[in-house]
Chains A and B, each alone.
Chain A
Amino acid sequence: MVPTNYYLVLSAILFGLGTVAFVFKRNIITIFMSIELMLNAVNLAFVAFSQAFGKVHGQVFVLFVIVVAAAEAAVGLGIIILIQRNRQSLNVEKVNLLKL
């Protein structure tokens, strides 16, 4: 059997890659996708622990995470569409009205 640690390390790596994308990409949609990647990494960790402890609570939680991610994606993409309409650009650095 695959030791739980391996899943966890994989989860960490995916999470880290998601963070790198989150920091470095300029397109809002790409940033949003990196957030989805991070959520997936976390899901993997949950499921791995669920198997390690022999209880299904982790998997139930994963279900909820997926549902929430779906809702979040719906609303988030709505906002992104609005940003495109208002700023005519999907570059996150153009969204800077709070700058002095």
Chain B
Amino acid sequence: MPTPMLDHLWIIPLLPLLGATTNGLFGKNWPNKVVNGVALNATGFSFLAALEAVREFIYVRNQELFRKEFFDWIVIPNLVSGGNLFRAGFDLQMDQLTVVMVLVVTGVGFLIHIYSTGYMAHEGGYYRFFSYLNLFMFFMLILVLAANYVLLFVGWEGVGLSSYLLIGFYFLKKSASDAGKKAFIVNRIGDFGFMLGMFLLFKTFGTLDFTQLFAKAEPWSHEGWGQFGTFTVACLLLFMGACGKSAQLPLYVWLPDAMEGPTPVSALIHAATMVTAGVYVVARSHILFTHSEIAMVVVAIVGCATAFFAATIGLVQTDIKRVLAYSTVSQLGYMFLGCGVGAFGAGIFHLMTHAFFKALLFLAAGSVIHAMGGEQNMLHMGGLSKKIKVTYWTMLIATLAIAGFPPLAGFFSKDSILYAAFIREPGGHPLYIVGLLTALLTSFYMFRLIFLTFHGQQRYDEHHVHVHESPWSMLGPLAILAVLSIIGGWMAAPSFWGGEDHFASFLTPVFGVAHEAEGAMSEAAAHKLELSLAFVAVVAALIGLLTAFWLYLKQPGKPAEIAKSLKPIYTSLYNKYYVDELYGAAIVKPLLAISTNVLWKVIDVEAIDGTVNGIAHGATATGDVARRTQSGNTRSYAVWVVIGALAVLVIIFWPAIRALAGGAQ
């Protein structure tokens, strides 16, 4: 059966790459329309190609794993016994997990590209923005389509690079370029762990190709609690990389600063796609993770803790994008929680729905900022709901989704995760409780955002700010994403009335059947438990909403009072628990001190410069000595002639001289 698109799977990442190079090399003098044309066509056709590939995968191949090697990249031949010691090739694969990821990346990416044409219309460096954006798409697609860890790592690093370029897009602003550097450096720390993990996997299994590696790893024995075997170490190292890329504790610090970049960047990279790469890697490596009890527990606890931690910080932030940034960190924590308790499918489900509503939230926030002429502080907004209606309604839909109200998308995905956490043996209950609390906080701060921004008193000066709705290039994607936020979870809905969770069953060939713990209970009891937990979650979300309503609409002065009375707590939350300052003092400052005093003053100046200067000095000194042969004194020259002649003669007559000397002895 022919699968032309799958056979040429490389088209999907290639198109954005072409767009990036074209815009990058030639776009400087092109009008915006042309740049748009290149970038949107590249992404749009990539999306269509992805759709076609998915269609072929599902209908032509009947969801059979597709993997194709396109060319060899790194090959180390085995000179002893033939074959290859190591091969990392440009191999792409398509399975159900890839289907989800590639559609999310290309689809949401395309929508955000459209949005950017409106948002960035008056910005300088227009061509550069789209070039970087396309470049990002290229690397992200490589990441999700890769069939081995090495190629995945290429995409991994590449998205880090694009993120750096895009965060520091307004590079003339120091805070922006600093944020870009911070993101790259913190990512790097994670990447270090990721690479070590890859090396360990290669050493243990001899291959980094997914299919081969997982097949080899499958039969190995499970490492229980307290056993620090290969799987545990490798998975913890990979997870370290995931923490860096997906902004979990302790490597989350770059994400809030990354809001310095333009809003579409925040939407695409720091909400929908790049930050989900860590979750993707954990999900892809689920066979490795499930072999290690410790790794799973670590993932779950880190995810849960991050979710709660970030939610608390988000409670008191005043910059609209910062709130959303911490919300992203928090939701990513949920995804890792889902993976950590074994519900990888649930984690991916939440990844997908989160992509929809978080991208929508960011884009809508961008629309608000655009409407307010650049104002990002919520305390200076208010009463916008009547003025920017489309933005308001789409943002409200997204907020309902993230808070977890049925029947929107967030409800189904968050509920799957919380259910999986609850039924996990042992220790699932604490995770569930913290997760539930986080859900309450999420609902609270998101509705706080809505109420502060769109409702209540108008806290800005009408004469300075002309509130206007955004153009349709920006509103169109908002509308589409709003629809997706509503219907995005419906494929899992049937499980509520006894039917099948279609999303989970779609991913079953990849992850196996989830919820092994269910085996202990009967089908009906499990169903009842799920429904009651869902009900509790909705109640929590409702409490959050009502609290926000009461505090920010009914009694607007109350929040300031509470902040004053709980001053220490409030200040530490507002200052993000002083984590950045802590890192600065504990890590950055000593490093700078070492760099200056040791690496620079000692090693560079004294050792290296000393050596180079020393060589020059040595040459001069040698010259000083050697010049004495040229004394200008003829008799000395005569002696040198004799010395030379003697040397030549000795060399020529050496055997005879030696024979003579030997004979004489």
Instruction: Classify A-B as touching or not with yes or no (CB < 8 A).
Output: yes
A99-B632 in contact (CB<8A): yes
Q: In this assembly, does B555 line the interface, its C-beta being within 8 Å of a C-beta of chain A?
A: no
Q: Within the assembled complex, what's the spacing in Å between the Cα atoms of A97 and B634?
A: 10
B642-A19 in contact (CB<8A): yes
Closest to B645 in A: A19
Q: Which of A65-100 contact B (CB under 8 A)?
A: 92-93, 95-100
B642-A93 in contact (CB<8A): no
Q: In this assembly, does A23 line the interface, its C-beta being within 8 Å of a C-beta of chain B?
A: yes
Q: Within the assembled complex, what's the spacing in Å between the Cα atoms of A92 and B638?
A: 11
Q: Which of B637-655 contact A (CB under 8 A)?
A: 638-639, 642
Q: In this assembly, does B565 line the interface, its C-beta being within 8 Å of a C-beta of chain A?
A: no
Q: In this assembly, does B173 line the interface, its C-beta being within 8 Å of a C-beta of chain A?
A: no
Closest to B632 in A: A99
Contacts of B642 in A (CB 8 A): 19, 22-23
- The CB with the most chain A CB atoms within 10 A, among B633, B635, B639, is that of B635
Helix, strand, loop or mixed for chain B's interface?
helix
Q: In this assembly, does B630 line the interface, its C-beta being within 8 Å of a C-beta of chain A?
A: yes
Contacts of A99 in B (CB 8 A): 631-633
Residue in B630, B631, B638 whose CB lies within 8 Å of A22 = B638
Contacts of B635 in A (CB 8 A): 23, 26, 92-93
Closest to A24 in B: B635
B633-A100 in contact (CB<8A): no
A95-B638 in contact (CB<8A): no
Closest to A28 in B: B634
Contacts of A96 in B (CB 8 A): 632-634
Contacts of B633 in A (CB 8 A): 93, 96, 99
Contacts of A97 in B (CB 8 A): 632
A98-B630 in contact (CB<8A): yes
Q: Within the assembled complex, what's the spacing in Å between the Cα atoms of A9 and B639?
A: 23
* Minimum CB–CB distance for B138 against chain A, Å: 68
A93-B634 in contact (CB<8A): yes
Q: Within the assembled complex, what's the spacing in Å between the Cα atoms of A17 and B245?
A: 88
Number of interface residues of A (CB under 8 A): 13
* Minimum CB–CB distance for A15 against chain B, Å: 10
Contacts of A19 in B (CB 8 A): 642
Q: Within the assembled complex, what's the spacing in Å between the Cα atoms of A17 and B124?
A: 92
A23-B639 in contact (CB<8A): yes
* Minimum CB–CB distance for A45 against chain B, Å: 13
Q: Within the assembled complex, what's the spacing in Å between the Cα atoms of A95 and B637?
A: 12
Contacts of A31 in B (CB 8 A): 638
Q: Which of B588-642 contact A (CB under 8 A)?
A: 630-635, 638-639, 642
Contacts of B639 in A (CB 8 A): 23
Contacts of B638 in A (CB 8 A): 22-23, 31
- The CB with the most chain A CB atoms within 10 A, among B631, B634, B639, B642, is that of B634
Residue in A22, A23, A100 whose CB lies within 8 Å of B632 = A100
Q: Within the assembled complex, what's the spacing in Å between the Cα atoms of A97 and B632?
A: 7
* Minimum CB–CB distance for A28 against chain B, Å: 9
Q: Within the assembled complex, what's the spacing in Å between the Cα atoms of A23 and B639?
A: 6
Q: Which of A27-65 contact B (CB under 8 A)?
A: 31
Q: Which of B415-453 contact A (CB under 8 A)?
A: none
Contacts of B630 in A (CB 8 A): 98
Q: Within the assembled complex, what's the spacing in Å between the Cα atoms of A13 and B630?
A: 30
Q: Within the assembled complex, what's the spacing in Å between the Cα atoms of A55 and B107?
A: 101
Q: Within the assembled complex, what's the spacing in Å between the Cα atoms of A92 and B639?
A: 13
Closest to A100 in B: B632
* Minimum CB–CB distance for A23 against chain B, Å: 5
Q: Within the assembled complex, what's the spacing in Å between the Cα atoms of A22 and B633?
A: 14
Closest to A95 in B: B634
* Minimum CB–CB distance for A98 against chain B, Å: 4
Contacts of A100 in B (CB 8 A): 632
Contacts of B631 in A (CB 8 A): 99
Q: Within the assembled complex, what's the spacing in Å between the Cα atoms of A98 and B634?
A: 9
Q: Within the assembled complex, what's the spacing in Å between the Cα atoms of A95 and B634?
A: 7
Closest to A96 in B: B632
* Minimum CB–CB distance for B158 against chain A, Å: 64
* Minimum CB–CB distance for B627 against chain A, Å: 8
Closest to B634 in A: A92
* Minimum CB–CB distance for A76 against chain B, Å: 14
Q: Within the assembled complex, what's the spacing in Å between the Cα atoms of A46 and B639?
A: 26
* Minimum CB–CB distance for B626 against chain A, Å: 14
Q: Within the assembled complex, what's the spacing in Å between the Cα atoms of A93 and B638?
A: 11
- The CB with the most chain A CB atoms within 10 A, among B630, B631, B638, is that of B638
* Minimum CB–CB distance for B329 against chain A, Å: 76
Q: Which of B273-331 contact A (CB under 8 A)?
A: none
Contacts of A23 in B (CB 8 A): 635, 638-639, 642
Q: Which of B175-229 contact A (CB under 8 A)?
A: none
Closest to B627 in A: A100
* Minimum CB–CB distance for A2 against chain B, Å: 21
Q: Within the assembled complex, what's the spacing in Å between the Cα atoms of A83 and B642?
A: 24
Closest to A19 in B: B642
Contacts of A93 in B (CB 8 A): 633-635
* Minimum CB–CB distance for A26 against chain B, Å: 8
Closest to A97 in B: B632
Q: Within the assembled complex, what's the spacing in Å between the Cα atoms of A98 and B630?
A: 8
* Minimum CB–CB distance for B657 against chain A, Å: 13
Contacts of A95 in B (CB 8 A): 634
Q: Within the assembled complex, what's the spacing in Å between the Cα atoms of A25 and B633?
A: 14
Closest to A99 in B: B632
* Minimum CB–CB distance for B636 against chain A, Å: 10
* Minimum CB–CB distance for A40 against chain B, Å: 17
* Minimum CB–CB distance for A41 against chain B, Å: 13
* Minimum CB–CB distance for A82 against chain B, Å: 15
* Minimum CB–CB distance for A32 against chain B, Å: 12
Q: Within the assembled complex, what's the spacing in Å between the Cα atoms of A19 and B632?
A: 20
Q: Within the assembled complex, what's the spacing in Å between the Cα atoms of A31 and B633?
A: 15
Q: Within the assembled complex, what's the spacing in Å between the Cα atoms of A69 and B181?
A: 82
Contacts of A92 in B (CB 8 A): 634-635
* Minimum CB–CB distance for A20 against chain B, Å: 9
* Minimum CB–CB distance for A80 against chain B, Å: 13
Taking A26-B635, A95-B634, A99-B632 as known contacts, 9 extra A-B pairs with beta carbons closer than 8 A to each other, sorted by chain A number, are: A19-B642, A22-B638, A23-B638, A23-B642, A31-B638, A92-B634, A96-B633, A97-B632, A98-B630
Interface residues of A (CB under 8 A from B): 19, 22-23, 26, 31, 92-93, 95-100
10 closest Cβ pairs, A-B complex: A99-B632, A98-B632, A92-B634, A96-B632, A23-B638, A95-B634, A23-B639, A22-B638, A96-B633, A19-B642
A-B contact pairs, 25 of them (CB 8 A): A19-B642, A22-B638, A22-B642, A23-B635, A23-B638, A23-B639, A23-B642, A26-B635, A31-B638, A92-B634, A92-B635, A93-B633, A93-B634, A93-B635, A95-B634, A96-B632, A96-B633, A96-B634, A97-B632, A98-B630, A98-B632, A99-B631, A99-B632, A99-B633, A100-B632
Interface residues of B (CB under 8 A from A): 630-635, 638-639, 642
